[in-house]
Amino acid sequence: MDIQTAKQIRIADFLYSLGYSPVKQQGINLWYKSPLREETEPSFKINTERNQWYDFAIGKGGNIIALAQELYCSDYVPYLLQKIEEQTPRIRPVSFSFGRQSFSEPSFQQLDIVPLVSPALLAYLQERGINTALAKRECREAHFINNGKRYFAIAFPNISGGYEIRNRYFKGCIAPKEISRIRQSGEPRSACYVFEGFMDYLSFLTLRLESCPQYPDFDRQDYMVLNSVTNVSKALYPLGSYERIHCFFDNDRAGMEALRQIRKEYNSTRYIRDASHIYSGCKDLNEYLQKQTATKKQAQSIRLKTPPNKPGGFRL
């Protein structure tokens, strides 16, 4: 098989042969839960007219060869063509049908942003190890109607007036989608700590507070939250004002790609630190925090159950 022959294969048919079907259709676009990673909301799009794909979470796309490069973790074209050819017997033209969907109505109606006070939302944050006092300071609470149903969720503001929203069952964005930037008052800071999502940002603040509750040093540097690795290009210009950039990205391909883009832009003129080694073995900083919290609770439980002044016991 040569390159031109491979390009004649519809990407939708190729993915279907691999076991991936679209979740919905918008005009000429098919939307999938990405075949390149685990996700709950579809962010992988195929333009059926151009036969091109784009993954919004990693900011990459292209033709079927580019997709095979991501799927098989190789840039050796003969090998990629071989893998596509091996799949060819299972590739059959397919059509997808979806129920009638309306995309003209706004996703969020009767939006109301209030202080974060909901016991259910605070309990959810506690389950994820987040200090709720910090969360109340950094976040708000959104009340809205979506598809005729009323919801409430944690709301984290971005620089353009939009919000990242999340509760135990829902994760989304109130447009516009943008980065969030937390700048300290006074003299400009020389360092910026960068996070993929606001849960990781809140996890960092929680970990720092626990390590030094009297002097947490929150104001020693500025902070930036991408709110999606697809926003990394929007972060490049403001990051140029810092001498040191500390990146707390997920331990996955998308996180590594975001770090690579920042290094490509500033590696020769800025100190770029990959801080993901701190939570090596965990998907992200919040997972690391949750494991730390579980370990502490287990230790406290053992301490309470062990009689005092006995061999191996703990004094309260």
pLDDT digits (tens, 9 = 90+) for 105-157: 345 678 899 999 999 999 999 999 999 999 999 999 999 887 677 889 999 99
Global pTM value: 0.64
Return the pLDDT at 315: 32
Return the pLDDT at 108: 67
Q: Band of the pLDDT at 259, cuts 50, 70, 90? A: very high
| 9-26 tens-digit pLDDT | 999 988 888 878 888 888
| 143-161 tens-digit pLDDT | 988 767 788 999 999 998 8
Distance CA(310)–CA(303), nearest Å, equals 12
Q: Band of the pLDDT at 52, cuts 50, 70, 90? A: very high
Return the pLDDT at 150: 84
Q: Band of the pLDDT at 99, cuts 50, 70, 90? A: low
CATH number for the region 179-292 comes to 3.40.1360.10
**3-90: what fold?**
DNA Primase; Chain A (3.90.580)
Domain ranges of the chain: 3-90, 105-176, 179-292
